[in-house]
Amino acid sequence: ARYQQFEAANDIVDRVVQGQQKRGLIWHTQGSGKSLTMIFAAYKLRRRRQLNNPTVMVIVDRRNLKKQVGDDFDFCEYPSVIRAMGIDDLKDRLRTNYAGTIITTVQCFQSMNDLAPIDRENIILLIDEAHRTQKGKGAGFAMTMRAKLPNAYRFGMTGTPIDRTMVNTPHEFGPVIDGKQERYLSYYGIRR
């Protein structure tokens, strides 16, 4: 791992293990290896015994990204990763409390009226391109995801510039700590 990947993966794992804050935004400049950061974080999370065999979900917003991220997991010889084959496949895995790593699209969180909320606290969501999935056409899917997985940890990943006027992404992923909205759990800008 490069420094920023090492730091971000450990920040995610530390936050989950501590269990106090259930969200965080990772902003790493484009080309810094966010897919590998997700792989490193997922690997460490799945190996933590105190997390009681967690479900790690990598959520993307396009099919080609699902293939690309899935291929990255395969190239790294990540054990037991599956790609949800659609809405029904994802619902079945959630209903049966699948413990492992799932790669899916945010669009799979549509048509989930027949799925009761999953209350497990050892579900960790690593959401790629988080700036896109929380607004516009993806917002309804993201809202369903949050409603169906109310106790899940949610970590957004992005490398797209977010200026101070764009409050939705930090608001969705940054917890309020000591009365102040956290902007980033991990920041790796172009200057670094």
pLDDT band at 160 (very low <50, low <70, confident <90, very high): confident
pLDDT band at 126 (very low <50, low <70, confident <90, very high): very high
Can you tell me whether residue 60 is helix, strand or coil? strand
* Range among 101-105, 141-145, 168-172 with highest mean pLDDT value: 101-105
The pLDDT tens digits of the residues spanning 12-36 come to 999 999 998 999 999 999 889 999 9
Q: Tally the C-alpha atoms within 13 A of residue 71's C-alpha that lie toward its C-beta.
A: 6
- Percent of residues, the chain, with pLDDT higher than 70: 94
In the block, residue with structure tokens 């992005």: 158
Helix (H) or strand (E) holding 40: helix 34-47
The amino acid sitting at 168 is: N
* Range among 2-6, 166-170, 173-177 with highest mean pLDDT value: 2-6
Count Cβ atoms below 10 Å from residue 3 Cβ, excluding itself. Answer: 10
The residue ranges of DSSP E strands in the chain, in sequence order, are 23-28, 55-60, 81-83, 101-105, 123-127, 153-158, 176-177, 180-181, 186-188
Burial level of 134, CB count in 10 A (0-12/13-18/19+)? buried
The pLDDT tens digits of the residues spanning 71-104 come to 999 999 999 899 999 999 999 999 999 999 999 9
Across 70-79, 148-157, 158-167, least confident range: 158-167
What mean pLDDT is predicted for residues 169-178? 88
What mean pLDDT is predicted for residues 127-150? 84
CA distances from 110 to 23, 121, 148, 169, 171 (A): 22, 22, 11, 21, 23
Q: How is residue 191 written in tokens?
A: 């200057």
Longest dimension (CA), the chain: 48
